[in-house]
Structure 1
Amino acid sequence: MAPVHKAIVSNNLALRAKYGAAGAAAIYIALGRMVAHDATRGLTTQVFDIDNLAHMTVVHGKPVIGPKDERGAKEAVDAIHGSLACDYIMLLDGPDIIPHIELNPISGIMDRDRTIPSDLPYASPSPFSKVAANFLNVTRVVGRLPACVGEMNHLILVGLIDKCIAHAPLPSQTFSPFFSISADIWQISTQLSLNAVFGSAAGLYLSGPSGHNLIDPSLVSKAHFINCHGNSGDFRFYGEDAAGAFSDAMDSSKIPPGAISPGAVAAAECCYGAQLYNYLLLGRAKPICMDYMMQGAASFLGSTNVSYGPASSNGQADLICQVFIQRVLGGASSGRALLQARQNFILTQVMSIATNLKTIAQFLLLGDPSICPATAEKALVDGGVAVPKTMAIPADEASERKSRRIALASQGESIASAATRPGRRLSGSSPAVARFTEIARAQGMSNVEVFSVTGGPAFQAAKAAMKGDRRVVVATKETVHDVKDKLDRNFVTYRVLIGHIIDDGLFNVEECESR
């Protein structure tokens, strides 16, 4: 079979059921335009309908039973990538066409999420599972070009396809100045993130006081970093001040048409920032992430449910959003930027911490993963030998891209081997657990749980050599606020306290809270 650089994963019967025969036909005509345009970019692109026996037979796979067949969808993507080793995988449309994998909740987090809707499994060669920890070997470039669940207007998806076709990379300096808005209570955390990504926090809006119309002139910026509250099925992001007062920070119904600049890149730490809810069924405005995409944003990174991060330092959502934007501004495709952000997160964070594991599972990319939002100066490194600037660099983008994919695949497996994972729930107490429990109770937390720590082969070998008994202890506090959102629901937030124990020593305690 000829090389395929980019696989578009679709479901013909599901598209016909969602948009009608004529609507589905228009979508496939638009995909034909994308395939033709990709060829001008040096990409061989092919559409795979995972409900189609002929399409799946070519890649030695089986068709899905239906659009809710999570196992079938995961196995179909595995077959496509296993046969083709394609550089990009683009999931077409929302989870009612290509399903999220509804991963099991992470033990130790006592929030209200009963599952974690995730695209992470599609980015891993590990077989189908509902366990997030099984997918830490992240090796594939995956993104989703979506419409909302229950969308009836096929022109939404056709328009997104055409916007991808029209996209052209922009010089990295075009992404400055940036736009950023943060809940007032997370000002320090957001400033740290902005300094890490942009080298400055100048121009940060705080909510409390900031919202529409104050922020609207700045929405034209190409790089957006958002650190606010979000809620399920809600088209707003919210701020919060030190007194616990909540306010509207952003509202998709109030973002002016044309305010989001074509080619913009956004990372939103907010809870539910990338939830593609059925706005027609709920009788609400579209989610903010879809407003961004429909106005021409190149990519949007967000979470499918309750996300976490520290109030006055960086962790969890902060870190994955930071690295994603950094890699994009460095010239990576948006899909590779997410792959590198995921790998960096697994490499640098303790994955036996429940909130870290949830973070890697819940953040996903909306947009064509093959799009490069920014251009950057190309540095050629060849075994440490300096290449004179006057020497021409051979232009073989496909070979260069394949070389990166091989390196990233190897790196992903290596990182997973060394990563920790949560183990089994433990009973009983110890002086270290008792000390943590005392700290937790002083902060109004009483539901303390203890877990063993396991990990990949490299971690297990190191653990055996060091002969250390490592455990993680977790406590969660839910706060139901008297204040209600615009949908007449009480705001609910969570604080999570995490303790690290080796043998019987409590050597570190950290805290994060829901975004």
Structure 2
Amino acid sequence: MNFKEISIGEKMTDSLSKRESKGYLVRVDANRKLTIDLRGPAGQDFDLYIKHNEEASTLNWDYKRVTTKADEIITIEPTSAGSYYILVYAYRGSGQFSLSTEVPIQDVEIVPSQQIKGTLTASKEALYYLIKTKEGQKITLDLNGPLDADFDLYVRYGERPTNINYDFKSYSGSSKEKIIIDKAKRGSYFIMVYSYRGSGEFTLSALPLEEAETVELIITSKEKLRTKYGQAELGQIEAKIADYINALGTAGIIAKLAYVDDAASLSPYGLSPVASDSPEKIKELIDSLEGKLNPRHILILGGPSIIPFFSLTNPAGFDGDRIVHSDSPYASRDSDYLIPERSLGRLPDAKESELPFFLSLLSAAASRVRRADKVSFGMTANVWTDASQAVYVSIKNAGEILELSPPVRHGDLPVARLNRKGYFYFNLHGGEDTANWYGQEGSSYPVAFTPENIQDAELRNAVVCCEACYGANIVDKGVDEALSLKFLARDAACFVGSTKIAYGPIEAPSTEADLLVLKFFERIKEGQTFGDAFMKAKQDFARECLAARSRLDMTEKKTLIEFVLFADPSSKMEEA
């Protein structure tokens, strides 16, 4: 049988008598999507048979479409390079039919170390590809085409390039082109191979993507540290910071220290000092430094007396908090600070008389070892038992119980009950002017946990999450005046808590503070760094809330901005 060649995109008409067959063929490149569409007369029965690189018949086919109608469609994806032989067969009836073929212009994905072959059949023709990248990766694309042609290479982020609109281009008068993107954005880069002149086969390859250097940006205020502690003490702090930077370097992380009010530390980036008491100006500086350094993590050194919290309007209205102390805007790349985009944490200091506390935090961060036992301690107000169990299950092991207050009070907890726990979870009441946390049953609010409970406890490298109102309130607080600081003083690696009044449900499912803490524990258990786990927990929280009702309510917005992370964001828990 004679198989007539037809072109991609061509629609041709022909006719068949009863039991007659007619053949056609179409040539296609590899990795395409080929659609073959047969349209026959009503009331008749025409069938479709396809064979790759060999004549098709009703007995010899790779693809077939046989129904009781005369309209048949076959889609082949991905195609193999070569010829597809098409047989149209009149099983019943006769009449005129149309046959069309289509290969949509598609973007074929390239993966690292892959070499793709393609063919440009004429001048001014183009083929399209894409490569997916992570933030900061290095991309190297190599094009090799025929010696007697001139093929060009164009790349554009997020959408297809043209020879007019592109982000990167390489055209040399030959068909050998290369494009290197040193710091890619996260997403997809679209690639066009374009024939300026000539035709022929080419290869396009992507070298293995190189991971960007991991950079941690350290933000603090030299003048405020000097004023608070003194010049000699500033020297001690800077020595500890230097140890920490060296430790990061040993771990493969490049640390960049920026004093917000020190020209010498900012001039290498072409930036000037800003007011150290203005969180808005400090955020603008962080935004500018991010553009220069592309940091993977951002660490704020010092409490609010050194680098201030933002004082945000309370989205929950009149619940007793006029403002909300927050680090959320620092973790955002724009003015919409509800959902973070940066891995950011804070290592706070305490009162001016408690410099050893701050130095000890820096020393612990420099150790880089965050290994703790895979055991937990959990405590909740009795009234929230059901809701708390739904969170505690993410960290507890068989046999571990959630302590209920009441009946349990702070004096009922021997230090052995707290020693060497890797995870701590608290869902208790707190107050703005007290260091204690409280239980509840009915109208009874017994003292459940105090700084004295952990005065002698072995808490090294523990991860602590607390849902208590004001659990992370450290404004004008000393170590013994805030349990968050006390946990850090006892060598806990991480503390997550709320700076203001927090919200949560009485029973499952988890919402508000319960949901955020649950998501944080889940991310920590995945092996995420503290900063990444906190950022992704807030993203997970927002995603679930929006999926439930397409918006964030007032208390959900407050939850997102009032919870803060006191930890080195580049460090992570390693379960012993």
TM-score range normalised by the length of the shorter chain: 0.5 to 0.7
Query: Is the contact made by 1:183 and 1:240 (CA closer than 8 Å) also made in structure 2?
Result: yes
The structural deviation recorded for 1:197 is: 4.3
Report the Cα distance in structure 1 between the residues aligned to 2:342 and 2:397, rounded to whole angstroms.
30
* DSSP 3-state at the match of 2:454: coil
Q: Does 1:218 align with 2:417?
A: yes
Instruction: Please point out which of 497, 500, 505 is paired with 1:302.
Output: 497
The structural deviation recorded for 1:49 is: 0.3
The structural deviation recorded for 1:80 is: 1.7
Map 1:82-97 to 2 at 5 A: 82-97=291-306
Instruction: Please point out which of 430, 433, 447 is paired with 1:248.
Output: 447
**Counterpart in 1 of 2:563?**
363
Instruction: Please point out which of 351, 354, 365 is paired with 1:153.
Output: 354
**Counterpart in 2 of 1:315?**
511
CA deviation profile, 1:335-392 (whole Å, cap 9, x unmatched): 111011011011111443000000000111001111111259xxxxxxxxxxxxxxxx
Instruction: Please point out which of 336, 348, 360 is paired with 2:532.
Output: 336
**Counterpart in 2 of 1:75?**
284
Larger radius of gyration: 2
Query: Is the contact made by 2:338 and 2:561 (CA closer than 8 Å) also made in structure 1?
Result: no
Query: Is the contact made by 1:6 and 1:43 (CA closer than 8 Å) also made in structure 2?
Result: yes
**Counterpart in 1 of 2:40?**
none
**Counterpart in 1 of 2:474?**
276
Taking a change above 3 Å as real, the CA distance of residues 78 and 205 of structure 1, as seen in their structure-2 partners, is same
Query: Is the contact made by 2:428 and 2:468 (CA closer than 8 Å) also made in structure 1?
Result: yes
**Counterpart in 1 of 2:232?**
22
The structural deviation recorded for 1:333 is: 0.8
- Structure with a larger share of its residues in helix: 1
Report the Cα distance in structure 1 between the residues aligned to 2:297 and 2:352, rounded to whole angstroms.
25
**Counterpart in 2 of 1:345?**
541
332-341 vs 195-204, which moves further: 195-204
Instruction: Please point out which of 354, 363, 373 is paired with 1:162.
Output: 363
Query: Is the contact made by 1:24 and 1:154 (CA closer than 8 Å) also made in structure 2?
Result: no
Query: Is the contact made by 2:248 and 2:255 (CA closer than 8 Å) also made in structure 1?
Result: yes
Query: Is the contact made by 2:297 and 2:570 (CA closer than 8 Å) also made in structure 1?
Result: yes
Report the Cα distance in structure 1 between the residues aligned to 2:302 and 2:399, rounded to whole angstroms.
35
* DSSP 3-state at the match of 1:86: coil
Report the Cα distance in structure 2 between the residues aligned to 1:136 and 1:287, rounded to whole angstroms.
26
209-218 vs 303-312, which moves further: 209-218
CA deviation profile, 1:448-483 (whole Å, cap 9, x unmatched): xxxxxxxxxxxxxxxxxxxxxxxxxxxxxxxxxxxx
- TM-score (ref. length: structure 1): 0.66
- Structure with a larger share of its residues in strand: 2
Map 1:49-198 to 2 at 5 A: 49-66=259-276, 68-106=277-315, 108-127=316-335, 134-148=336-350, 150-170=351-371, 174-176=373-375, 178-198=376-396
Query: Is the contact made by 1:302 and 1:363 (CA closer than 8 Å) also made in structure 2?
Result: yes
CA deviation profile, 1:411-462 (whole Å, cap 9, x unmatched): xxxxxxxxxxxxxxxxxxxxxxxxxxxxxxxxxxxxxxxxxxxxxxxxxxxx
Structure 2, unmatched stretches of 5+, are 1-182, 184-211
Taking a change above 3 Å as real, the CA distance of residues 189 and 9 of structure 1, as seen in their structure-2 partners, is same
Report the Cα distance in structure 1 between the residues aligned to 2:575 and 2:215, rounded to whole angstroms.
20
Flag the structure with more relative contact order, 1 or 2, with Cα contacts below 8 A and sequence separation at least 6: 1
**Counterpart in 1 of 2:554?**
354
**Counterpart in 1 of 2:69?**
none
Q: Does 1:290 align with 2:485?
A: yes
CA deviation profile, 1:261-315 (whole Å, cap 9, x unmatched): 21100110111111113236xxx93210111101111100001100100111221
Taking a change above 3 Å as real, the CA distance of residues 52 and 135 of structure 1, as seen in their structure-2 partners, is same
Taking a change above 3 Å as real, the CA distance of residues 201 and 97 of structure 1, as seen in their structure-2 partners, is farther
What letter corresponds to residue 218 of structure 1 in structure 2?
R
Report the Cα distance in structure 2 between the residues aligned to 1:61 and 1:111, rounded to whole angstroms.
41
Query: Is the contact made by 1:233 and 1:275 (CA closer than 8 Å) also made in structure 2?
Result: no
The structural deviation recorded for 1:123 is: 0.9
Query: Is the contact made by 1:262 and 1:297 (CA closer than 8 Å) also made in structure 2?
Result: yes
What letter corresponds to residue 23 of structure 1 in structure 2?
E
CA deviation profile, 1:81-133 (whole Å, cap 9, x unmatched): 22111111000010111111111111x53211111110011111004xxxxxx
Taking a change above 3 Å as real, the CA distance of residues 255 and 140 of structure 1, as seen in their structure-2 partners, is same
Report the Cα distance in structure 1 between the residues aligned to 2:394 and 2:453, rounded to whole angstroms.
30
User: Number of residue pairs matched?
Assistant: 359
Q: Does 1:206 align with 2:404?
A: yes
Report the Cα distance in structure 1 between the residues aligned to 2:313 and 2:399, rounded to whole angstroms.
37
Report the Cα distance in structure 1 between the residues aligned to 2:269 and 2:494, rounded to whole angstroms.
29
**Counterpart in 2 of 1:237?**
437
Report the Cα distance in structure 2 between the residues aligned to 1:201 and 1:185, rounded to whole angstroms.
22
The structural deviation recorded for 1:22 is: 1.2
Identity across the alignment (%): 28
